[in-house]
Amino acid sequence: MNPQKILIFSTAYCPFVGGAEVAVKEITDRIVDTQFDLITAKLDRKLPSIEKIGNINVYRVGFGFKTLDKLWLALFGHRKAAKLYKEKKYDVVWSMMASQASIAAAKFKIKESKPKLILTMQEGDEEEHLKRYVLGVNFLYRWLIKPLHLLVFQKADFGTAISNYLIERMRKNGVDVPIELIPNGVDINKFEIRNSKSEIEERKKIRQELELKEGDIVLVTSSRLVKKNGVGDVIHALTKLSENIKFLILGEGYLEESLKLKAKSLKVSDRVIFMGLVSHQSLPKYLKACDIFIRASLSEGFGVSFIEAMAAKLPVIATPVGGITDFLFSPAKLMCSGIDAIATGYFCEPENPESIVSTVQKVISDPNKNQIIENAYKMVKEKYDWDLIAKQMSAVFNIK
C-alpha cells in the first residue's frame, strides 16, 4: 500500500516558531508511513528554498523579506503546490490557520478538487486584527481582505480547531462541514519537573545568570510582545507588588521598546528581564527556573504556553478569554458557577493591573496551590500529550 501524501500550507515554519508551527512539527514527527510536504513563506534570505525538517520536506517561496513573502505566498503559493501535485498527487491538503497560506491552499483546492482540504484553526488574534493590512479602513477590509480570508472556510472539506471558541468562529464564518476539536499539546517529557540533582543545579545556574537573589519570586511569560498578550499590564502591576517579585519575559515583538520604556518610567526596569526570543528547546529550563507563569491575554485561540507551564508544574495565571476556558478552571470561578471540575489555575481580569496584583498575591499565599498545580499537571498528561493529539489528527487525515 502506498504511503499517504499530505501537503501542508503554513505561513511560517521553523525556525520561526509559534504554537501552530510547534503543532505541525510535533504531529508530523509522530505520524509514520506518511509523506509530508510543506509550503511556507521564506521570510529570511539565509534559509534554503528546499529543506528536510523532521518528517517534512519544506518548500519556501518568496525572496527573504517578511511582509513581501507572506503576500507572495498568498498570491502565488498555489502555483508551487500545482507543480508539486503533478509529481506527487497528494491525498490531503492541510491548511494550518486561516492566514496568508490558507489563501494559497484555497486557490489550490479550486484548481485541484480531488485532494481533501482540511482547515485547522489556531488563531489567537481576533479577526479585527486583519484590518491592519489596510490601515484600519473598514471598507477596504471588507472589499480586499475579508473575501480572501473567508475563501478557505468556503472550500474546506473538514475542519479542526484547538478550542471550542474557535469552532464557534469557524461556524460564524460559514463552515458547514464537520469540525473536530483537537487541541494543541505538550511534550510532557521535556517540560515535567523531576527534581533530579542536575535539574536543581540547572535551576540554580539559570537564576544566577538572571542575577536573581535568594527569596526572589519570578513571574514568567513566553509570548509575542504584542498588545493582545497584555505584557504591559503585568509590568504595571509590579509597581504594587513586593520588591522581590521579578518578571521574566521570553519573546520578542513590535512592542519591545515601548515596554522597556514603560518599565523605566514606572521605575521597575530593574525587576523586568527581557530575554528576547528563546528557542522552544530551551524553554523548559527557563520555566523550571521560575515560580509563576502569567499571561494577561486580551484574546487567545488556545494558548499552548499555558499547558507547557502546567506540565512544568508552575501555577498559572491567565484571563478567562477565548480557548483558555477549555482547560483552566479557577477556584473562585468554580465556586461561583457550580461547574463540576477541578481547579487548574487562577484567573485575573484582562486590561486590569489591579486584578493582576491581587491574583499574584493570592497564588503566593494560597494553601491549596500545590494541589492546583498537581491537578493541572494530571490534566495535561491525560488530555494534552502530543502522542494523543497526533493519533487524533492521523484519524482525521484518513477520513474518506
pLDDT tens-digit map of 20-74: 999 999 999 999 889 999 999 999 999 999 999 999 999 999 999 988 999 999 9
Q: How many CB atoms lie within 10 A of CB 57?
A: 17
Percentage of the chain with pLDDT > 70? 92
CA distance linking residue 30 with residue 387, whole number of Å: 7
pLDDT tier, 12 (very low <50, low <70, confident <90, very high otherwise): very high
The reported pLDDT for the residue numbered 330 is: 87
Between strands 92-96 and 56-61, the pairing is unpaired
Percentage of the chain with pLDDT > 90? 77
Closest by CA to 90, choosing from 36, 148, 171, is: 36
**How is residue 242 written as a grid cell?**
513586593
Comparing 128-132, 147-151, 210-214, the range with the smallest average pLDDT is 128-132
The reported pLDDT for the residue numbered 130 is: 60
Q: How many residues does the chain have?
A: 400
The reported pLDDT for the residue numbered 285 is: 93
Which of 16-20, 166-170, 353-357 has the highest mean predicted lDDT (pLDDT)? 353-357
Q: Report in angstroms the alpha-carbon separations of 126 from 51, 224, 228.
A: 32, 15, 9
The reported pLDDT for the residue numbered 151 is: 85
The reported pLDDT for the residue numbered 13 is: 95
**How high does pLDDT run on average in the chain?**
91
Average of pLDDT values for 217-222? 97
The reported pLDDT for the residue numbered 170 is: 92
Give 193 or 95, the one with higher predicted confidence. 95
CA distance linking residue 164 with residue 310, whole number of Å: 20
Residue by residue, what is the 3-state secondary structure of 326-350?
HCCCCHHHHHHHCCCCCCCCEECCC
Reduced to 3 states (helix: H, G, I; strand: E, B; else coil), residue 228 is helix
User: Could you tell me which residues come within 8 angstroms of residue 76 by beta carbon, excluding any fewer than 6 positions away?
Assistant: 61, 104
- Is residue 139 over pLDDT 70? no
Question: Where do the domains of the chain lie, and which CATH numbers do they carry?
Answer: 4-185+385-397 (3.40.50.2000), 188-383 (3.40.50.2000)
The reported pLDDT for the residue numbered 196 is: 78
For the whole model, what pTM was predicted?
0.85
- Is residue 383 over pLDDT 80? yes
